[in-house]
Amino acid sequence: MRKAVSLVLVAVFLVSLFGGLSVVPSAKAVAQEVTYNLGAEPEGIDPALTTSLEAGNIEQQVFDGLTRLDNKDMPQPAIAKSWTISKDQKTYIFTLRDAYWTNGMPVTAYDFEYAWKRVLTPELASPYAYMLYYVYGGEAFNMSVKVGSKYYAQAVDAKGNLLTKKVGGNDVPVPDMAKEIDPSKNVGVKALTAKTLKVYLQSPTPFFLSLGAVEQLMPVCKAVVSTNDKWTSNVKTYVTDGPFNLTEWSHNDKMVFVKNPTYWDRDKVKLTKITYLMVEDEGTALSMYQSGQLDAAAYVPLSELPKLVASGDVKIFPSLATYYCTVNVTKKPFNDVRVRKALLLAIDRKGITQSITKGGEVPALAFVPYGMPDALPGKDFRTLGGSYYKDDDIVTAKALLAQAGYPNGKGFPAFTLLYNTSDAHKTVCEVIQQMWKKNLGITCTLRSEELGVFRNDREQLNYDVARSDWFGDYIDPNTFLDMWVTHGGNNHSGWGNKSYDALIAKEKATVDPKARMAILHAAEKILMTDMPIIPIYFYTNPVLLSKHIKNFHQSMLGTPDFKLVYMG
């Protein structure tokens, strides 16, 4: 909530025969509490399993990893107070500081080893397991088949294709019983002592220290998590090691955090309490802000944005994110690349960014946004990569649709554009719907779903076209490209391309920066040729923010960090 203005007592001077006596002015301290609208209920709060911005936002407040990003999004020491890197840049030795979980137990290297191997465990089915494929043996372990208590590599045929068998109508991987994978020996993360963690990588990974700040690589308390698979369902068992401690969770309503008294860097934490609300309607959140019930909000009504920027109530932060539509390529007629390209080219992105979003967004004529460094210092990946298509290219769009058998939209089946409940998403999707009708003659209906249902339908391919967005997890183009490998945990399009998969695998094993970036450009070209996605625009980050909130930082990767925030 907005806080009452500090009351300053007027100095009173009492003069007597013996001289002046002054009363020192005093002030009522400002309550160090913030109320913030998260915008939606997170799908969970287990860093090994979540993928949404909402969940990541929460996990950034309650966890600390090996590193933590500063206000320039550069990794700084966190639980790891120092580290050494081998000459071949494949072996990291991290020395941990004295740090404690909220239950009072020390944070150890054994917790990190357990947490990372837990993410990679096949039966956990973490959608972000691929973030740890950079660790030696990580992918092999994650792709292994569990038989009893042991893990085995998946069997392959003479051509190297993975073997499966039918069980209950499902394709189940076949284990190669001659190739056991022992995660205690065959995965390159090992606690040498309670304070020393050794990490051995598949190949040099220039952004590895930034990965140390990503939620999926956060430690979890082994003593708690290994004995309680429902540890996140109760605030008393939700043991964390970050600046704040979750003390209350009223589902679909609010979460309350308090300053963590066991946090290693607690002297820098000024806020004593943070309340996260989950108001999905941006207009309602704005009214709450204006009436003093909110101090900040993650989302802003598009219609009010210019006025709020002018008044200073909204601050626009830079962003490494892309707003796009995912196409279900397993459904007709969307299995035809000509149809997908027609949908892509029939959209006026400039019109959307200038007339609808109005937050400084840039039309996306590729997938990787501006702001990602290329190999040479000062060079930008997007600038060098250029554009892959023209904006609002209606002539080409109509020609492609006709080639696909739907001249002027004739015979094209009615379909649905799915989006999660939000006035902003509704507005953008309505405009796209109108463009497709006007420019291509095709009929699209809109379907809005609560965020949790929306995520599930998208993951299960229960949609035709779906609104999506992606915020980078670290500052490297790979964070926008490795997600599209066949059956990738965040690839919800049904698309796969062996050449693309091979390029991503090659990129991960390439040491030379120039060669590596060339491979990533080649991979993006395949993605932008097959078009399982329809990029719309590159995000900015407008945040509704009270002027009383000081030292607020919103990462280019999409999440705020309240560690150093204070009220003034």
One domain, residues 356 and 407: yes
pLDDT at site 113:
98
Residues 205 and 282 both lie in one domain: no
* CATH number where 152 lies: 3.90.76.10
pLDDT tens for each residue of 448-493 = 999 889 999 999 999 999 999 999 999 999 999 999 999 999 999 9
**248 lies in the same domain as 264:** yes
The residues, ordered by sequence, that sit 6+ positions from 52 with a Cβ below 8 Å of its Cβ are: 42, 43, 451, 455
Residue 46 lies in a domain: no
Crossing angle of helices 498-508 and 513-530, in 10° steps, is 160
Q: Which residues contact 7 (CB under 8 A, 6 or more apart)?
A: 27, 28
Based on the fold, state whether residues 412 and 558 are members of the same structural domain: no
Q: What is the pLDDT of residues 209-265, one digit of tens each?
A: 999 999 999 999 999 999 999 999 999 999 999 999 999 999 999 999 999 999 999
Amino acid 460: pLDDT: 95
- What pLDDT does residue 15 have? 34
Locate 213 and state its tokens: 């700040």
Q: For residues 401 and 51, give the distance between their C-alpha atoms in angstroms, rounded to a whole number.
A: 35
By C-alpha distance, which of 90, 96, 126, 123 is closest to 110? 96
Single-letter amino acid, residue 33: E
How many folded domains does the chain comprise? 3
Helix pair angle (394-403, 337-345), 10° resolution: 160
Residue 175 lies in a domain: yes
> Are residues 159 and 293 both part of a single domain?
no
Residue 238, in any domain of the structure? no
Clarify whether residues 252 and 368 are in a common domain: no
What's the confidence (pLDDT) of residue 493? 97
Residue 307 has a CB neighbour count (10 Å cut-off) of 11
Omega into 106 within 30° of 0, i.e. cis?
A: no
Residue 192: strand pairing partners: none
Is 226 found in the same domain as 261? Answer: no
Structural domain contains residue 44: no
Here the CATH number for the domain that contains residue 441 is: 3.10.105.10
Residue 276: domain span: 1-37+244-314+545-568
Please identify, among 213, 233, 253, the residue that sits at the C-terminal boundary of a domain. 233
- Verdict on whether the full-model pTM lies above 0.75: yes
Q: Which residues lie across from 431 on neighbouring strands?
A: none
Other CB atoms within a 10 A radius of the CB of residue 189 amount to 25
For helices 337-345 and 423-440, angle between their N-to-C axes, nearest 10 degrees: 110
For residues 289 and 329, membership in a common domain is answered with no
Asked if the structure places residue 47 within a domain, the reply is no
Q: 20 in a domain, yes or no?
A: yes
Sign of CA dihedral 250, 251, 254, 257: positive
In a domain, 378, yes or no: yes
Which residues of the chain fall short of a pLDDT of 70? 1-28
Phi first, then psi: give them for residue 284, nearest 5 degrees: -65, -40
- For position 498, what pLDDT does the model report? 95
Please identify which residue in the block is written with the tokens 């501006």.
Answer: 370
What is the structure's pLDDT at 169?
A: 84
Token look-up 């357990």 returns 114
Q: Using one digit for the tens of pLDDT, what is the confidence trace for 519-528? A: 999 999 999 9
Domain finish residue from 209, 233, 257: 233
* Burial class (CB within 10 angstroms; exposed 0-12, middle 13-18, buried 19+) of 376: exposed
**Residue 7: both structure tokens together:** 């009351």
Tell me, what CATH number does 281's domain have? Answer: 3.40.190.10
Domain presence at residue 512: yes
Same domain, 267 and 145: no
Do 74 and 172 belong together in one domain? yes
330 and 469 part of one domain: yes
421 and 446 Cβ atoms separated by less than 8 Å = no
Same domain as 474, residue 385: yes
